Amino acid sequence: MRILLVEDDAQIGSAIASALDDAGMAADWVTDGSAALASVDAGAFELMLLDIGLPKRDGFSVLKQLRQNGSTIPVIMITARDGVDDRIQGLDMGADDYLVKPFLINELLARVRAVARRHSGRSQPFMAGGDLMLDPSNKKVTYKESELDLTAREYRLLQALLSSPGRIYSREELEEKVYGWEDEVNSNAIEFLIHGLRKKTSKQAIRNVRGLGWMVPET
Ligand code: CA
């Protein structure tokens, strides 16, 4: 899952970015409101963490513009402790949830998972496709009930495929979900990851649809 983090406080921003990374989510981090809007246009983000007090455009202005543009990206606002009016305004403007500063990283991660789950129409906390099962809360992935030892990128790739079993993902879509802006992506990087995943599971676990991309079967 790729997340856009919009936070101008360097300390908070780097703490969140590294926690998201540890949790298997690819976070791209920008520090002002204009960059946030440009990034949503440019990238395939599945969720935005949006601070309110930002340079150039504040969080409300970003949110308003996003929704006016028709973007349905889920947004979690980051608000100040005494900002109850901010929270109400944010939710009414189309935010999906909020976090109150200071918050525990574990709460942030749980809210990210919950909002992503609701947005994708899943009510079950785990993701499944074929004989694969992924639990985002503890990053545990099993195939035919035995636990897999995955690299961070293999995990992200599988999470992307399992967010919609039966749907075919193209190479470009998977690259966007697995890699951040700063990553160098080789032209056969996705094939390489798929190859590794198949070795840990089976050829049937991740299917190749020639010329189109890859999918995991529905359970
Ligand atoms: Ca701020």
pLDDT digits (tens, 9 = 90+) for 7-32: 999 999 999 999 998 888 889 999 99
Domain holding 105, by residue range, is 2-120
Residues 113 and 131 in one domain: no
For residue 22, what is the domain's CATH number?
Answer: 3.40.50.2300
Burial class (CB in 10 A: 0-12, 13-18, 19+), 194: buried
User: How many structural domains is the chain composed of?
Assistant: 2
Same domain? For 141 and 201 the reply is: yes
Residues 165 and 115 occupy one common structural domain: no
Q: What share of the chain has pLDDT > 90, as a percent?
A: 74
Same domain, 78 and 186: no
Based on the domain organization, do 192 and 209 belong to the same domain? yes
* d(CA 13, ligand 1 centre) in Å: 10
pLDDT value of residue 35:
96
How much is the pLDDT for 24? Answer: 85
pTM: 0.80
Question: How far is the centre of ligand 1, averaged over its atoms, from the C-alpha of 72 (Å)?
Answer: 23
Distance, CA 79 to ligand 1 centroid (Å)? 9
- Judge if 132 and 159 occupy the same domain: yes
pLDDT digits (tens, 9 = 90+) for 177-188: 888 877 788 888
Question: How does residue 44 score in pLDDT terms, banded at 50, 70 and 90?
Answer: confident
Residue 122 confidence (pLDDT) above 80: no
Tell me which residue of 87, 88, 45 sits closest to 66, measured CA to CA: 45
Same domain, 115 and 138: no
Q: Is the pLDDT of residue 60 over 90?
A: yes
First-to-final CA distance of the chain: 21
Domain identity same for 154 and 110: no
How far does residue 28's CA lie from ligand 1's centre (Å)?
17
Cα(31) to ligand 1 centroid in Å equals: 9
Residue 136 CA to ligand 1 center (angstroms) comes to: 28
- Compute CA distances 100 → 33, 52, 95, 109, 160, whole Å: 19, 11, 14, 13, 29
Domain end position, chosen among 120, 140, 170: 120
Same domain as 133, residue 111: no
Residues 6 and 103 both lie in one domain: yes
Which of 120, 135, 166 terminates a domain? The answer is 120
Per the prediction, the chain carries an average pLDDT of: 92
Centre of ligand 1 from the C-alpha of residue 51, in Å: 6
Residue 71 pLDDT level (bands cut at 50, 70, 90): very high
> What spacing in Å lies between the alpha carbon of 139 and ligand 1's midpoint?
30
Among 66, 91, 120, which residue terminates a domain? 120
* Same structural domain, 199 and 107: no
- Are 40 and 140 found together in one domain? no
Cα-to-centroid distance, 99 and ligand 1 (Å): 13
Question: Residue 133 pLDDT > 80, yes or no?
Answer: yes
The per-residue pLDDT for 54 is 94
